[in-house]
């Protein structure tokens, strides 16, 4: 039997306010110590050092050309093409350019006419990298985040080289590629098309560019293996049966859903559908609609007995409770078994937001100092793992590796885990670097192969926080974003993990619907990133290692990109500059979906 989830994309978590207030109380005593220790204590040996080594000598080369096939189809009615050979794949030094040539045979009955819409042939970007009509780091026209290498457009690699390519003739398309700055192997998938008419064959044509060397320590982290895109993507919270509507509003790449309720309460996610099939249905629905499912696994806090305590005390008590942890690992294993059965789908599991920050707050920057039941839990797969927080992290990885290699694991970076809140305390750049180094040291002490790190701004709209905090200023200004970028860049470089920004507030200051009432509170994150015509703000985060922005409210009262208030289309009197009329019944006036659609219409930005 299929039941709706009692917990949709968001869930009521204990608020950052409490954590920040405790940080405020101790900051005066700790600031000097944090700065000194952050600078003087070196990062653990297994982590990447913060400085860049000298670059190794680089030599470029080009591999052998690839000849045409012995046979190609011919005389197919209409517009058709068949791959007919190409020049060799290049090895290029960072920033070096190379001319590529790929041939396509006109296997149809209609000719290709240059400059004539509906008849002119192009090569376009295609799946899987960078994706259909998306920008590539290997070339472009300088728009949508692409490098300027002379392509007709950022998503059109080359136009037919001669005015007319008739049936049974060959077109030799040429284009220039540029090597990214970070060593690695990059792929450009291309497909022939008639502009304004149709995509043509062949599928699976691609170009490899190899940049030799090992990525330097402290450089921009590589994308995780199996990461589904080379563009900066947007996602949002989305409950069961919502994927089709989500994709209809904008080509979102991700949707996320909490898995919660507790492992020993009788209310956990495994009870939401008969046979614990909730993740199965969510993954399958996501796959049908071309979106990647993200699960925020939040099971430590709501489990017994810790759910009767304060959040930090409860989390740490549950970590040390043998019965709770046996149930926890069984629950986590069950999730991996369900997700692993959907082996054709990439799934992302965001592991225990807040927990890692509480561990670091209580036990410092070495996770091995925090007790946790792991090897002694009795689960055979975890035998021999240490009974501490590092062992717990490795247990998550071990179960993933055993049952669901198609799942990417997300660590949660809580900036307040250092007991200093960068938003409220506004540290100097030097202090930011020291704090980020501490965060990286804690992550490295886990010794666990997470694939990506998640981070967040706040769990609610700034205007709602202001009401509930009694007057403190939680608004993000340009300097706050700059400090955040610096922190994330340092952490990402030291850990060599890219970053997903998660549960980003949805409020705005543009729409009349946002009048600072329940479910209609203002914030500025959406407009900061996606109402910035030059894309300077989103580009700064991408250069810091951010690869996706996932939006959603963290609890009741915050703005939703849905009609959570149930009040339909609203246009109350403006309270400032929010003078735009609502576009839909969404509580934010439809602003977020409009901005997301506009971002994709202009071309998703290629990741550095």
pLDDT at 29: 31
The total number of structural domains in the chain stands at 2
Determine what percent of the chain falls in helix, strand and coil, rounding each to the nearest 5: 30, 20, 50
Scan for tokens 């996932």, then name that residue.
Answer: 550
- Asked if residue 19 has pLDDT above 50, the reply is no
Looking at the predicted structure, is the pLDDT value of residue 515 above 50?
Answer: yes
For the stretch 85-109, pLDDT in tens is 999 989 998 889 999 999 999 999 9
Q: Is 541 a member of any domain?
A: yes
Side-chain-side CA neighbours of residue 225 (13 Å): 5
Residue 287 has pLDDT above 60, yes or no: yes
Residue 2 lies in a domain: no
- Whether 224 is in a domain gets the answer no
Q: Does residue 89 share a domain with residue 43? A: no
What is the helix (H) or strand (E) element at residue 466, kind and residue range? Answer: helix 462-469
Distance CA 539, CA 164 (A): 40
Mean pLDDT, to the nearest integer, of 364-376? 97
Is residue 179, in this structure, part of any structural domain at all?
yes
Q: For residue range 537-577, what is the model confidence (pLDDT) as tens digits?
A: 998 899 899 999 999 999 899 999 999 999 999 999 999 99
Percent of the chain past pLDDT 70, that is, above it, reads 89
- What pLDDT band is residue 217 in, cutting at 50, 70 and 90? low
Give the pair of three-digit tokens for residue 380: 């055979």
How far apart CA 231 and CA 559 sit, in angstroms, is 27
User: What distance lies between CA 130 and its chain's CA centroid?
Assistant: 15
- 201 shares its domain with 248: no
Same domain, 184 and 243: no
Please indicate, yes or no, whether residues 531 and 402 belong to a single structural domain of this protein: yes
Do 206 and 298 have their domain in common?
no
On whether residue 124 sits in a domain, the answer given is yes
Q: How many CB atoms lie within 10 A of CB 95?
A: 11
Same domain, 242 and 182: no
| pLDDT at residue 275 greater than cutoff 60 | yes
pLDDT at 158 over 90: yes
Give the pLDDT confidence score for residue 43 in this predicted structure.
34
Question: What span, in angstroms and rounded, lies between the C-alpha atoms of 481 and 499?
Answer: 15
534 and 586 co-located in one domain: yes
DSSP symbols for 219-267: SPPPPPTT-S-SB-EEEEE--TT-HHHHHHHS--SEEEEEE-S-SSSS-
Q: Tell me the pLDDT band of 42, cut-offs 50, 70 and 90.
A: very low
Which of 160-164, 304-308, 466-470 is predicted least confidently? Answer: 466-470
CATH label of the domain that carries residue 199: 2.60.40.10
User: Looking at the structure, do residues 175 and 259 belong to the same domain, yes or no?
Assistant: no
Question: Please, which residues bridge with residue 258 across strands?
Answer: 296
Q: Say yes or no: 43 and 82 in one domain.
A: no
Q: 2-6, 151-155, 279-283, 358-362: which range is least confident on average?
A: 2-6
Among 23, 29, 9, 47, smallest CA distance to 358 is for 23
Phi (first) and psi of residue 207, to 5 degrees = -130, 130
Q: Are residues 422 and 507 in the same domain?
A: yes
pLDDT at residue 429 greater than cutoff 50: yes
What would the pLDDT profile of 578-594 be if each residue is shown by its tens digit?
A: 999 999 999 999 999 99
The last residue of a domain, from among 211, 244, 279: 211
> Is there a single domain that holds both residue 306 and residue 175?
no
Average pLDDT over residues 147-175: 97
- pLDDT value, residue 18: 34
Between 288 and 211, residue with greater pLDDT: 288
Instruction: Provide mean pLDDT across the span 295-308.
Output: 98
Task: Give CA separation, 39 vs 109, 367, 434, 439, 492, in Å.
Answer: 70, 19, 6, 13, 17
Q: What is the pLDDT of residue 46?
A: 30
What does each C-alpha distance from 126 to 99, 144, 156, 227 come to in angstroms?
19, 16, 10, 16
Q: For 118, left (φ over 0), alpha (ψ -120 to 50), or beta? A: left
Q: What is the pLDDT confidence band of residue 11, given thresholds at 50, 70 and 90?
A: low
**Is pTM beyond 0.75 here?**
no
Residues 6+ apart with CB under 8 A from 603: 133, 134, 135, 143, 144, 145, 154, 155
Q: Tell whether 181 is covered by a domain.
A: yes
Last residue of a domain, which of 152, 177, 211?
Answer: 211
Question: Which phi and psi (to 5°) does residue 172 adopt?
Answer: -100, 95
Confidence of residue 13 (pLDDT cuts 50, 70, 90): low
Domain coverage including residue 442: 16-52+233-601
When the pLDDT of each residue in the chain is averaged and rounded to a whole number, the result is 88
For residue 144, is it within any domain?
Answer: yes
d(CA 266, CA 255): 26
The 3-state DSSP class for residue 287 equals helix
Q: What is the CATH number of the domain that holds 572?
A: 3.20.20.80
* Cβ 267 vs Cβ 261: under 8 Å: yes
Task: Flag whether pLDDT at 433 surpasses 70.
Answer: yes
Residue 459 has pLDDT above 80, yes or no: yes
Residue 490 lies in a domain: yes
Least confident of 15-19, 141-145, 435-439, 450-454: 15-19
Q: Is the pLDDT of residue 314 over 90?
A: yes
**Is residue 40 domain-shared with residue 170, that is, in the same domain?**
no
Residue 198's closest CA among 122, 101, 114, 128?
A: 122
Report the candidate in 556, 587, 593 with the shortest Cα–Cα distance to residue 8: 556
> At CA 459, angle to CA 505 and CA 599, rounded to 5?
25
**Domain edge (last residue) among 211, 246, 267:** 211
Overall average pLDDT of the 46-63 stretch: 55
| Confidence band for 215, pLDDT divided at 50, 70 and 90 | low
Q: What is the pLDDT of residues 396-424, one digit of tens each?
A: 999 999 999 999 999 999 999 999 988 88
């Amino acid at each position: 039997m299929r039941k709706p989830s009692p917990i949709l994309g968001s869930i009521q978590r204990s608020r950052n306010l409490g954590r920040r207030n405790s940080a405020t109380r101790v900051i005066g005593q700790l600031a000097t110590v944090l700065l000194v220790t952050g600078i003087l204590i070196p990062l653990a040996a297994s982590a990447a050092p913060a400085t860049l080594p000298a670059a190794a000598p680089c030599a470029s080369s080009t591999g052998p050309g690839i000849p045409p096939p012995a046979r190609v189809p011919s005389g197919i009615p209409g517009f058709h093409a068949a791959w007919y050979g190409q020049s060799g794949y290049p090895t290029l030094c960072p920033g070096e350019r190379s001319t590529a040539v790929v041939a396509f045979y006109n296997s149809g009955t209609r000719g290709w006419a240059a400059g004539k819409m509906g008849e002119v042939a192009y090569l376009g970007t295609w799946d899987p990298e960078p994706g259909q009509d998306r920008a590539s780091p290997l070339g472009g026209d300088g728009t949508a985040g692409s490098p300027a290498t002379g392509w007709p457009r950022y998503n059109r690699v080359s136009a037919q080289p001669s005015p007319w390519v008739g049936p049974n003739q060959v077109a030799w398309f040429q284009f220039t590629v540029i090597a990214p700055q970070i060593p690695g192997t990059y792929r450009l998938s291309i497909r022939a098309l008639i502009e304004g008419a149709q995509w043509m064959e062949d599928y699976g044509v691609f170009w490899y560019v190899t940049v030799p060397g090992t990525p330097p320590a402290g450089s921009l982290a590589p994308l995780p293996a199996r990461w589904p895109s080379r563009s900066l993507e947007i996602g949002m919270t989305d409950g069961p049966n919502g994927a089709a509507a989500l994709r209809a509003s904008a080509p979102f790449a991700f949707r996320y859903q909490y898995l919660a309720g507790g492992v020993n309460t009788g209310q956990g996610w495994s009870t939401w559908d008969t046979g614990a099939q909730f993740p199965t249905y969510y993954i399958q629905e996501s796959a049908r609609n071309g979106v990647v499912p993200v699960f925020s696994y939040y099971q430590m806090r709501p489990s017994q007995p810790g759910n009767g305590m304060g959040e930090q005390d409860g989390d740490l008590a549950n970590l040390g409770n043998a019965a709770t942890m046996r149930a926890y690992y069984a629950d986590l294993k069950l999730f991996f078994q369900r997700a692993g059965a959907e082996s054709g789908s990439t799934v992302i599991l965001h592991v225990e937001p807040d927990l890692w920050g509480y561990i670091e707050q209580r036990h410092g920057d070495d996770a091995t100092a925090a007790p946790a039941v792991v090897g002694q839990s009795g689960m055979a797969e975890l035998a021999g793992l240490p009974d501490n927080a590092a062992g717990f992290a490795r247990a998550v990885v071990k179960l993933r590796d055993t049952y669901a290699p198609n799942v990417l694991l997300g660590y949660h970076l809580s900036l307040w885990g250092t007991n200093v809140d960068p938003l409220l305390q506004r540290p100097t750049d030097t202090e930011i670097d020291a704090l980020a180094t501490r965060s990286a040291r804690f992550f490295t002490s886990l010794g666990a192969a997470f694939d990506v790190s998640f981070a967040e701004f706040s769990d609610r709209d700034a205007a709602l926080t202001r009401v509930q905090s009694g007057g403190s200023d939680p608004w993000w200004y340009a300097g706050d974003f700059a400090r955040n970028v610096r922190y994330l860049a340092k952490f990402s470089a030291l850990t060599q993990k890219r970053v997903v920004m998660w549960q980003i507030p949805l409020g705005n200051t543009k729409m009349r619907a946002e009048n600072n009432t329940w479910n209609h509170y203002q914030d500025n994150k959406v407009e900061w990133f996606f109402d910035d015509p030059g894309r300077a703000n989103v580009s700064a985060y991408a250069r810091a290692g951010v690869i996706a922005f996932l939006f959603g409210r963290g609890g009741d009262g915050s703005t939703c990109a849905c009609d959570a208030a149930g009040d339909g289309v609203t246009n109350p009197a403006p309270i400032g500059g929010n003078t735009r009329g609502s576009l839909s019944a969404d509580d934010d006036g439809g602003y977020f979906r409009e901005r997301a659609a506009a971002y994709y219409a202009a071309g998703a930005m290629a990741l550095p």
